[in-house]
Amino acid sequence: MAYSDQSYNLRIELDTQHFDCSPEQIAYLEDTLDPLRAITKQFPVSDLYITMAFHNHSNQYRVKTSLVLPGRTIATGDVAENMEPAYERCVRKLVKRVEAYKADLGGDAEQAKVIE
């Protein structure tokens, strides 16, 4: 299943493998992104790619995220028996890494436009 949301500055593309997300799960995924939306709103471009796969042999979900910002791509991943904890950890990691990236830019996301 693929899902794409481009209504915000943070454009999201979700790809699930070996399972489908319910509308409630998609709403949960969207809500969980609020901290990431807040920290990336100053960037002119921020594309988030999320891949979630259920592995029958291990009965676990593997979540991979890749956030494309001007001048840097930040990737995270996590594995858990439930999709939600793995996803939440990925989002928290992304927020921390974006904070570090912004600190490297001196807190000025506008400077990232020059990096392109």
CA dihedral 60, 28, 87, 50 (to 10 degrees): 100
Query: pLDDT of 59-85, one tens digit each?
Result: 999 999 999 999 999 999 999 999 999
Residue 114 has pLDDT above 60, yes or no: no
Q: What is the mean pLDDT of residues 40-65?
A: 96
Q: What is the mean pLDDT of residues 26-43?
A: 95
**Confidence at 93, pLDDT banded by 50, 70, 90:** very high
